[in-house]
Amino acid sequence: MLEQISSALLHSFKQRPRYTLSALMQATLDVEFTAQTLNNYTTEKASEIQGQIYLALDERTDNEARMSLQQELPEMRAILKRLREGTRGEFVCFKRERRRERKERGEEGLGK
């Protein structure tokens, strides 16, 4: 799923010829939120695609926006943290169960 979402983001981001600071910030938040929410499902291919996303964004961003983004990163990290905390319940279905939790419920060894 993360590979498919990342591929869709990459395709979408390549459609836009230029990224202003605000567009770059939004794209970065979108990519990071998705990657962090689904980090339990990261694969080599998903990581590769995410790297391609950042290259595509960088290619479509001028130096001024790139430098401004660096100044905005601390606030963006805070925003991302608030977003993750605010949607924790909504995305709990993507969290993998720990082996101990399954064992406690007696489901260990049942192929679950």
pLDDT digits (tens, 9 = 90+) for 75-90: 988 988 888 887 777 7
The pLDDT tens digits of the residues spanning 15-68 come to 999 999 999 999 999 999 898 888 888 999 999 999 999 999 999 999 999 999
Domain residue spans in the chain?
2-104
As a whole number of angstroms, the distance between CA 20 and CA 84 comes to 25
| pTM value surpassing 0.85 | no
